[in-house]
Structure 1
Amino acid sequence: MIAAQLVPTPVGPLALLAREGVLVAAGFTADPTEMFVRLTPALQAEGLEVVDDLGLAAEATRAYFAGDLDALDAVPVSQPGSATRKRLHAALREVKAGTTVSYAELAERAGMPKTAARAAGSACAQNLIAPFVPCHRVLPSSGGYGGYYYGVPVKEWLIAHENGGIANSM
């Protein structure tokens, strides 16, 4: 069974979905089924149950939004993808709060040639576990914020929060 919990945040509810204590999806939505339908068919076959407390993932979420910017790093995550995508997602988790990288830099950190920036962009676009796999920390080298699955205002807010530009409101 996939367990889901909604955690309120300053930028809207964050749906957390976990299987046996490992986060398999997270996203800024009030409807956990929006994240559930993005899971693999095998995980969807397990069903979805909304619970009151997912434990570590929920605690880490509250701590992160209260100012402990490293809290999300302790939560185990698992998402599908090719070996390349998994390397890019692992490299994303190494980008520390308060810093940003370009898509080319992310590819380089994943041990891939700089020409793999497009693959880095694709890995960010397909990321199912935001902000635990912090694709919001990747910015285009041409400037600006680029896109974000949950909207650029959420990405801007997260980056400002991590840079100390927002008073804690949790």
Structure 2
Amino acid sequence: MIAAQIVPTPVGALALLSREGVVVAAGFTADPEEMFARLTPALRAEGLEVVDDLGPATQAVRAYLDGDLEALDAVPVSQPGTPTRRRLHAALREVKAGTTVSYAELAARAGLPRTAARAAGSACAQNLIAPFVPCHRVLPSTGGYGGYLYGTPVKEWLLTHESRRTANAG
């Protein structure tokens, strides 16, 4: 069974979906079914149950919102993808809070050629586990915020939250 919880955040509800303590989906929506629909058929076959508390994942989100920007890093995650996409998602998890990278930089960090910037953009677009896999920390090299599945205001809020906290810590 896939367990789901809705956690309130300053930028709206965050749906968390977990299977045996591993986050399999997370996104800024009040409807866990929206995230559930993006899972693989095998996971969807397990069914969905909304619960009151997912334990460590929920605690990590609350700690992150309270200023512990590394709290999400310790939560195990799992999402499907090609070997290239998995390398990109792993590289994303290494981008520290308060910093950003371009799509080309993300590709380079994943050990992929600079021409793989398009693959990096695709990996961000297909990311099922925001903000645990922090695609909000990737910005276009041409400037601006670029796209974000949950809207630019959410991306802006996450980046501002992280930059304020890292500035205060320094």
Query: Same fold by TM (over 0.5)?
Result: yes
- TM bin (shorter chain): over 0.9
Deviations 1:46-105 (A, max 9, x none): 000000110000000000011110100010000000000000000000000000000000
Aligned length: 165
Deviations 1:29-62 (A, max 9, x none): 0000000000000000000000011000000000
Q: Distance in 2 between matches of 1:7 and 1:125?
A: 22
Spell out structure 1 runs of 4+ moving beyond 4 A: none
3-state DSSP of counterpart to 1:69: coil
User: Residue 8 of structure 2 aligns with which residue?
Assistant: 8
3-state DSSP of counterpart to 2:49: strand
Q: Distance in 2 between matches of 1:110 and 1:157?
A: 26
Task: State how 1:125-144 maps to structure 2 within 5 Å.
Answer: 125-144=125-144
User: Residue 168 of structure 1 aligns with which residue?
Assistant: none
Q: Distance in 1 between matches of 2:110 and 2:68?
A: 26
Task: State how 1:17-166 maps to structure 2 within 5 Å.
Answer: 17-164=17-164
Query: What's the CA shift for 1:128?
Result: 0.2
Higher helix proportion (structure 1 or 2): 2
Q: Which runs of 5+ in 1 are unaligned?
A: 166-170
3-state DSSP of counterpart to 2:132: coil
Identity of aligned residues (%): 83
Q: Distance in 2 between matches of 1:156 and 1:12?
A: 13
TM-score by length of 2: 0.96
TM-score by length of 1: 0.96
Q: Distance in 1 between matches of 2:11 and 2:74?
A: 22
Q: Distance in 1 between matches of 2:112 and 2:28?
A: 30
Q: Distance in 1 between matches of 2:54 and 2:21?
A: 8
Q: Distance in 2 between matches of 1:97 and 1:81?
A: 24
